[in-house]
Structure 1
């Protein structure tokens, strides 16, 4: 399974036992849809808790706002709470992380401009070749 989103906070390395560590982080996945018989586009955000068990070295690159493409599987955690009711949560167990875009640590650094210039918006028939 593949998901793409942005980190909601910096990744945290947690020690499970003497030999094992896990990188925990959360991503936000943006989506939109148009309800039937409506012209209004609804935007929704889904927050997904993720874990990465293969290496803790990647945690230094997983900062808030970083865009990532994740590959892995969904895991279900079920437990009985203090209220004697069953509770559950989903975790995306990541097997591969691809960083799509980093965030700048320097707030005065120029932001990436994704605007298309007027030169690139020309009609294809108006090109000089």
Structure 2
């Protein structure tokens, strides 16, 4: 399955089961449609987990447009008020960065670029 959306916050890396890490992030997927002659937009928020490497985490920053490949599942839970709820979880196998901004560039790459520009 493939989804495309924008990160709503910077990714976070978590240590689990000893030496394993997972990169968690959340994307907003927008759907535009016409209803009753009016243009409308619906947004779905999806929690994502990427287990393959945490090296991508510095690039996954708020506002970045990403294309993700993997599979989706629903996780039921109960709110503090006792209401049944559910969240969508995307188990990510592949990430393509589509709309990187300067903020998404790790500090080490920025420093190299700045030194290169100053030397010219």
Q: Which runs of 5+ in 2 are unaligned?
A: 105-120
**Which range moved further: 51-60 or 87-96?**
87-96
Calculate the aligned-residue CA RMSD, in Å. 2.0
Q: Which runs of 5+ in 1 are unaligned?
A: 107-129
Residue 75 of structure 1 and its aligned partner are, at CA, apart by 2.1
| Structure 1 residues 70 and 81: alpha-carbon distance in aligned structure 2, compared to 1, 3 A threshold | same
User: Is the 2:46–2:87 Cα contact (8 Å) retained in structure 1?
Assistant: no
CA distance in 2, matches of 1:13, 1:30: 25
Partner residue of 2:115? none
What is the TM-score when the length of structure 1 is the normalising length? 0.72
| Structure 1 residues 45 and 87: alpha-carbon distance in aligned structure 2, compared to 1, 3 A threshold | closer
Residue 74 of structure 1 and its aligned partner are, at CA, apart by 0.7
Size of the aligned set, in residue pairs, is: 104
Q: Which has the higher strand share?
A: 2
User: Is the 2:24–2:49 Cα contact (8 Å) retained in structure 1?
Assistant: yes
Matching of residue 27 in structure 1 with residue 10 in structure 2: no
Within-5 A mapping of 1:73-112 = 73-79=71-77, 86-105=84-103
| Structure 1 residues 100 and 11: alpha-carbon distance in aligned structure 2, compared to 1, 3 A threshold | same
What is the TM-score when the length of structure 2 is the normalising length? 0.76
Partner residue of 1:57? 55
Describe the SS at the equivalent of 2:87.
strand
Q: Which has the higher helix share?
A: 2
| Structure 1 residues 104 and 42: alpha-carbon distance in aligned structure 2, compared to 1, 3 A threshold | same
Residue 29 of structure 1 and its aligned partner are, at CA, apart by 1.1
